[in-house]
């Protein structure tokens, strides 16, 4: 905020602060997930006579979803390299790919949820399923938010070109996306893999 600095320096400081703030936000989000994980850990055996995770989950499906999401993190990372190099078309391609992969992940999850619900295993069935739907569903909602964010950002990049402001927004977006990936790895381990141990 001091005048002796050039305007770009001022902008760089603001960017630095924004990114730092976004990191803190991610930590608060992680804490929300930690509550959901803790709740799942407490309640995962409370099936109230219903089916257990082992009987309900399809590990292959979950693994497919995991691989899709991991690949999307990779494409997102490559997109970020392109963004820092200022290559607009590559950014559109790689983030477009990320979007499609994210959407397929979401479709898989939607499919899983709808099968469970159709067979009568809903959030109301028992505490185990309540905590399952809350944890995995919250992650899914974050993915939806991420997809919306990607779509809007790409729209603005097409319209206005890839300026430094957009690169900053992409940097936050990619942080968010990788964050969701990390959370998913924990979900995959604690919810799906653990059920089959």
Give the interface with another protein as residue ranges (CB under 8 A): 1-4, 10, 13, 16-18, 20-21, 24-25, 27-29, 31-32, 35-36, 38-39, 42-43, 46-48, 123-128, 130-131, 133-134, 148, 152, 156, 169
Q: Which is nearer to another protein, 2 or 60 (CB)?
A: 2
Backbone φ, ψ for residue 88 (5° rounding): -60, -45
Q: What is the DSSP string of 81-147?
A: HHHHHT-HHHHHHHHHHHHHHHHHHHHHHHHHHHHHHHTT--TTT-HHHHHHHHHHHHHHHHHHHHH
Closer of 38 and 182 to another protein (Cβ):
38
* Nearer to another protein among residue 96 and residue 137 (C-beta): 137
Shortest approach of another protein to residue 74 CB, angstroms? 26
Taking the complex as a whole, the smallest distance from the CB of residue 108 to another protein amounts, in Å, to 23
Name the residue nearer to another protein (CB basis): 20 or 110: 20
- How is residue 89 written in tokens? 């078309």
| Phi/psi of residue 163, nearest 5 degrees | -95, 180
């Amino acid at each position: 905020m001091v005048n002796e600095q050039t305007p770009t320096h001022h902008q760089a400081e603001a960017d630095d602060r924004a990114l730092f703030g976004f990191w803190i936000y991610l930590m608060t989000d992680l804490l929300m997930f930690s509550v959901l994980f803790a709740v799942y850990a407490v309640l995962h055996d409370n099936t109230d006579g219903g089916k257990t995770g082992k009987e309900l989950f399809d590990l292959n499906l979950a693994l497919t979803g995991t691989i899709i999401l991991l690949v999307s993190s990779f494409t997102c990372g490559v997109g970020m390299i392109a963004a820092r190099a200022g290559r607009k078309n590559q950014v559109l391609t790689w983030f477009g790919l990320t979007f499609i992969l994210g959407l397929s992940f979401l479709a898989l999850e939607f499919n899983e949820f709808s099968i469970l619900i159709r067979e009568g295993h809903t959030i109301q069935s028992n505490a185990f399923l309540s905590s399952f739907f809350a944890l995995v569903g919250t992650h899914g909602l974050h993915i939806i938010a991420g997809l919306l964010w990607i779509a809007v950002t790409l729209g603005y990049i097409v319209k206005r070109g890839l300026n430094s402001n957009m690169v900053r927004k992409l940097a936050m977006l990619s942080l968010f996306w990788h964050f969701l990936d990390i959370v998913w790895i924990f979900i995959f381990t604690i919810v799906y893999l653990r059920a089959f141990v």
